[in-house]
Amino acid sequence: MVLIYVKSGEWMSSCSEEWSFVVDKERRGRMVALETTTLLEQLKIMVCEDYGVNHNVEFSYKMVNQ
């Protein structure tokens, strides 16, 4: 089993064209438990259902070295 931390929010561009991620303070973050065999599409469905959002939202992610 793997735990993944997910956050709801949106990417915002500043006047200097730098991007920053602004967390949705109402939805915040959550931990999602996955099996190592879970596909990305399955993860997206789980997260959308947890947050109660449309399945057509965009996802971005960062891979972290273990």
Give the pLDDT score at 65.
66
The pLDDT of residue 55 is 83
Query: b/e string for 26-38 if b means 16 or more Cβ within 10 A?
Result: eeeeeeeeeeeee
Query: What's the half-sphere exposure (Cβ side, CA atoms, 13 Å) at 33?
Result: 1
List the domain range (segments joined by +) for residue 42: 2-51
Report pTM: 0.69
How many residues does the structure list for the chain? 66
Answer yes or no: is 24 within a domain.
yes
> How many domains does the chain contain in total?
1
Is 66 inside any structural domain? Answer: no
- The predicted pLDDT at position 28 comes to 86
Asked, for residue 23, whether it belongs to a domain, the answer is yes
Residue 40, in any domain of the structure: yes
Closest to 50 (Cα-Cα) out of 32, 63, 64: 32
> For each successive 10 residues of the chain (66 residues), what is the average pLDDT?
89 88 89 91 90 85 70
Q: What is the sign of the dihedral through the CA atoms of 26, 57, 23 and 36?
A: positive
